[in-house]
Structure 1
Amino acid sequence: MELLILVWRQYRWSFISVMALSLASAALGIGLIAFINQRLIETVDTTVMVLPEFLGLLLLLMVVTLGSQLALTTLGHHFVYRLRSEFIKRILDTHVERIEQLGSASLLAGLTSDIRNITIAFVRLPELVQGIILTVGSAAYLAMLSTKMLLVTAIWMAITIWGGFVLVARVYQHMATLRETEDNLYNDYQTVLEGRKELTLNRERAEQIFQQCYTPDAKEYRHHIIRADTFHLSAVNWSNIMMQGAIGLVFWMANSLGWADTNVAATYSLTLLFLRTPLLSAVGALPTLLTAQVAFNKLNKFALAPYNPDFPQPKAFPHWKTLELRNVVFHYQDNAFSVGPINLTIHRGELLFLIGGNGSGKSTLAMLLTGLYQPQSGTILLDGQPIAAGQPEDYRKLFSAVFTDVWLFDRLLGPQGKPANPALVDKWLEHLKMTHKLELNDGRILNLNLSKGQKKRIALLLALAEERDIILLDEWAADQDPHFRREFYQVLLPLMQGMGKTIFAISHDDHYFIHADRLLEMRNGQLTELTGEERDAASRDAVARTA
């Protein structure tokens, strides 16, 4: 299996050490059976030391077995920790466009369900390893007692294992389908949680979501989990019954066919009884390993960025003068909408407003401008020099942004990830009217339970604390009250320009267009600059231009 191969590659010597411990445990287990056979069955040892020797062997077996299981479990948890950390890092390194295509629900399912299933598999892996090693070792010991009986018993056990694998294969099929159903359920959960206000207001919609979306997915999940459990329990019971049948078969071969005496038959039976629990545990553990393989395959299907343990430090462009988008074209994967070709030159220190109707391409242009989307064609240039393919991080270092779907982080960071400038933070807390509403402790925001407008103000503070050259504001003022909206356009934007910021603001507030150095418009994916009478008309009534 790919999962075990990956463990072998990453933890080869640790894996070898664990296997050595498991072999020692199996050898001690078989040695215990041999001790019972030779000292307590074939020739009864009446010396006083036989009991301490037996108890000592039992204690040693317990210590080595526990040690091997703990070592394998610990190795598994180290692997899962590494897998989870690599998955998170790959998400951080993957293009935003790809993350949006995958959706948060499927990624959360990967981080929770898939990682959990892999963890469970490694917790149960010692049972599988112990079962296999003990079975092989016991077979070697039984061969020394009676080859003919071993041959028949081996055939019987082969039938047992084959039947178990047939049943377990059905478990795997249902688990694979089950994993796909889990993605749908996570989408349903997300709908219920994030749409809770709307669903509380509209009970008909709530019923529709529950009956037509959640219930079919939940029923499909129930169907496949019941089938998987049915085949799993069938495999366990099949193995259990066949093991008991093997004991009866041994005594029949010994007594009816005369292939061995009663002592050998007793030793065979004792060995099979000894194997019964490890073998049943191995059969029980196999579905968890198969489920883990399904989860591992699912994680690999996300097609995230390759794992890179480092966080390369982007290089700054401290003295740039112009930023140019030249013939930039972008289209979404389904080709339903495209933007471009875009031609735009931004001069350092400018205040630009971008207007346009819903679906005109404003947000897409913002993503292209900030380097979060990669254009299919065209070039982005800084001071006339194209941004190389290996420089996206360097280019993105120019930007701070406050998007419409803002996410608030609880720590203020300054340039290069260092603590934010306290003087700058205090100054802008006052400008944003948040001095007495925000609790800060050593750069950490303690209260994020704020209104949407207040969250936007804190997001602006976070962006300014980074002290980057260009700031993108996506309809920032839309959630502010009329008084503070005027404050934003007439006071805050000039203050930012006074700090040397280049500001690219998406806005619908036509009353304040007069404050922009340049007014841009997106319409059907095409960008134009409004000047003269067109700009005056847009400043009088921007709504008319979106009709």
Structure 2
Amino acid sequence: MLLDSRSFLQCRTKLYSTNRRSMGAVYLGPNRSNSVLHLTYQLARSNRTFLILLAFLSLISGALSAAFLALITYSLTPNSHSHFFLAVLFSITCVLILLARHGHRYFVTSLGNRLETHLRLELVQTIISCPLRRLERRGPSGLFTVLTHDVGTITGLVLSMPTLLSDAALLLGAFAYLGYLSGYLLLGLFMAVVIIGMIFYFKIVSKNMHLFDQIRDKYAILMGHYSDLIAGTKELKMDADLSSRLVDEHIHNATNDLARINLQTAQKHSFGLNLGQATIYLLIGLVVFVYPTLLGATPEVVLGYVIVILYAAGPLESIINSYPVFISAKVSLRRIADLKDELSLAKEPSLQYESILNSGVFEEIALVDVQFCYPDSNGTGKTIGPINLNLRPGEITFFVGGNGSGKTTLVKLLCGLYAPDSGVILFNGNNVVLKELQSYRERFAVVFSDFHILGHALSLYDFELASKDDLTHSFGLGEVLAEYDTLNIRGLSEGQRRRLALLLSVLDSAEIHLFDEPGSDLDPDTKRYFYEELLPYLRLRGKAVLVVSHDDRYFSQADRLITLHDGKIISDIHRTNG
């Protein structure tokens, strides 16, 4: 086997297997809550030990914060005792607070990393197991947005939890100290003002939740334009008008729209923050001017309240600032769940190692009344078929026809990337049903016209074995693979990449070899070598060879010439080659 995973050459789907319980995975399947609370619930179930430790550290942190404030207030009163003793207690308390907060950061960061890893792997697994046609309709930019922006937003929320938990614990400790200092009446009035202010803020921000959805939508649109920008760099450089219009009419508008909505959101948030700041001013005014006069608060109590308010103002503002992050994470979590719901509707099963298609030598593939339709917005669309076709080993079959005649769609049906809307595909007389689909694909080695070599995962390919084969030099790749361990796919020309893809396919042990426009990007000598020497070589090895081609100079190499027009086979000519 040349490849650890045949990837694009064998249409193989490699599924990730992970221990979800031990790693704390969160599966967001259909018909489940899409809220951040549900995510927290899932994390609690799979990470009980971490959360128990976090709760314990939160209580310790709150108690230490109360002790910290008490020490400061007591040290400022005229009745305080030895300053040396208080300084020692102060130092010990500071060290313990730092240790508790470090514990917070460690455990929550671990949770965040686990969450990010498994969200990405769950999404990758969902994408890999989704039928190709559904992925083609979805498009790459939307998938990239979910994998990068949405997962990153949720992870960012989780990673901010250490600070939020520490701040919340500090506030709880501060309130506990105020209760000890002045009794429940003053504390009740104090907390009432705080809660009323926070309620008003949350109502203001919640009324503008639709803006967070718009930000996410505009970001996805911008990602699509970025994809066009990167993929179409050569075309844009060759056409200044096209380039400037892309920037001015699309990217510029999209970025402006995103900036405008971000500004709206920031203004609403700023208004809420001002309300929170006004609440703090109100609290200080109540403590300094109202509590002593109406409630008889002593100077010591007033001093304690002022210190607490000034000390807790930062953590309180931090908690308020985190609310938009929660809303963004909720939007992202909903988009992730929606994507998983959509892609999971037609999830393909993994490889069946006990499949009946895994045993026996390939004898025949038969397509019986196979039809496939590309639907359009009106519910109709272009139809391929009905196709009736038999293919056997030791035969070179060419599929020819004009552009849009259905050749590539037919071979995608043949190798199992598309499932027929009607009719059946038989392998050695056995019906290729959904659960057998991946086992059926394993019989193929495929190079599509838009092939892709996994340039960031070259270790999946056995280049060492390929470099020792005589075919490598026949393909003119001897020097390229001489230092395969430092191979840079991006440094190869289009022709070299195609030759490499063809080489890997030819060396593969699959019984059926499928080539979609293999002559593209090849120089005349390499093209001749491929058609006139390699294809007969594969036939002699008993392989079934399927070729989609417009190179009519080499049609004579075919044992069978199948012509398609408008999605139908209009001729099937069997030829005899010596």
- Common fold by TM > 0.5: yes
1:290 and 2:327 aligned? yes
Shift of 1:467: 1.4
User: Corresponding residue for 1:495?
Assistant: 537
Matched, 1:115 2:151: yes
CA contact (8 A) 2:424 2:432 kept: yes
1:187 matched to 2:224? The reply is yes
- Alignment map for 1:128-527 (pairs within 5 Å): 128-144=164-180, 145-169=182-206, 172-302=209-339, 303-305=342-344, 312=351, 314=353, 316-334=358-376, 335-410=380-455, 419=462, 422=465, 426-441=469-484, 445-527=487-569
Contact kept, 8 Å, 2:212 with 2:328, in 1: the verdict is yes
Which piece of structure 1 moves more, 467-476 or 38-47? 38-47
Distance in 2, matches of 1:331 and 1:404, equals: 21
Note if 1:531 corresponds to 2:577: no
8 Å CA contact retained: 1:25, 1:64: yes
Q: Is the 8 A contact 1:124 1:288 kept in 2?
A: no
SS in 1 for 2:562: strand
8 Å CA contact retained: 1:171, 1:232: no
Looking at structure 1, the residues matched to 435 and 463 of structure 2 have their Cα atoms a distance apart, in angstroms, of 28
Q: What is the SS of the residue equivalent to 1:326? A: strand
SS at match of 2:125: helix
1:110 is paired with a residue of what secondary structure?
helix
User: Could you list the runs of 5+ residues in structure 2 that have no partner in the other structure?
Assistant: 1-35
Q: Equivalents in 2 of 1:452, 1:356: separation in Å?
A: 25
Q: Which position in structure 2 is the counterpart of 1:540? A: none
- Return the offset for 1:504: 0.8
Cα separation, partners in 2 of 1:76 and 1:448, compared to 1, 3 Å: closer
The worse-fitting range, judged by mean Cα deviation, of 290-299 and 45-54 is: 45-54
TM superposition score normalised by structure 1: 0.89
Q: Would the alpha carbon gap of residues 171 and 52 (structure 1) be closer, same or farther in structure 2, given more than 3 Å must change? A: farther
- Whether the 8 Å CA contact 1:170–1:231 is kept in 2: the answer is no
- 1:77 paired to 2:122: no
Identity among equivalent pairs (%): 28
**Equivalent residues, number:** 529
- Separation in 2, partners of 1:36, 1:479: 77
Contact 2:463–2:484, Cα closer than 8 Å, also in 1: no
Residue 17 of structure 2 corresponds to: none
Shift of 1:355: 0.9
Work out which of the residue numbers 33, 42, 49 in structure 2 matches 1:6.
Answer: 42
1:60 aligns with 2:96: yes
AA matched with 1:435: G
Counterpart amino acid of 1:488? Answer: F
- State the shift of 1:311 in Å: 7.0
> Alignment RMSD, CA only?
2.7
Aligned residue number for residue 86 of structure 2: 50
- CA shift digits 1:471-530 (9 cap, x unpaired): 110011132233332222211110111222211100112222222111112221223442
Task: Give the Cα–Cα distance (whole angstroms) in 1 for the partners of residues 362 and 398 of structure 2.
Answer: 21
User: Cα distance, 1:412 vs. partner?
Assistant: 7.1
Do the aligned residues in 1 keep the contact of 2:398 with 2:555 (CA within 8 Å)?
yes
Q: Secondary structure at the match of 1:65?
A: helix
Deviations 1:17-75 (A, max 9, x none): 21221221112111222344456538412364222122212221221122223322232
Letter in 1 for 2:115: F
CA contact (8 A) 1:26 1:137 kept: yes
Take 2:209 and 2:529, find their aligned partners in 1: how far apart are those partners?
A: 62
Q: 1:117 to 1:212 in 2, by over 3 A?
A: same
Pairwise CA distance, 1:165: 0.9
Q: Which amino acid aligns with 1:199?
A: L
Give the Cα–Cα distance (whole angstroms) in 1 for the partners of residues 285 and 300 of structure 2. Answer: 15
Query: Secondary structure of the residue that 2:302 maps to in structure 1?
Result: helix
- Whether the 8 Å CA contact 2:464–2:484 is kept in 1: the answer is no
How far residue 340 of structure 1 moved from its aligned partner, in angstroms, is 2.0
1:322-373 CA-to-partner distances (Å, cap 9, x unmatched) read 1111122222343422212221111122211001221121111111111111
TM-superposed CA distance for 1:397, in Å, is 0.2
User: By how many angstroms is 1:428 displaced?
Assistant: 1.6
Q: Which amino acid aligns with 2:65?
A: G
Whether the 8 Å CA contact 2:66–2:176 is kept in 1: the answer is no
Q: Is 1:98 matched up with 2:134? A: yes
**Structure 1 residues 287-296 or 162-171, which shifts more?**
162-171
Contact 2:387 2:568 in 1 (8 A): yes
Q: Deviations over 1:376-407 (max 9, x none)?
A: 22211111111232111101101111111111
SS of aligned partner of 1:227: helix
Q: Are 1:20 and 2:65 counterparts?
A: no
- Structure 1 residues 279-336: Cα deviation after superposition (integer angstroms, max 9, x where no partner): 111112222232122222222222334999x975746344120111112222234342
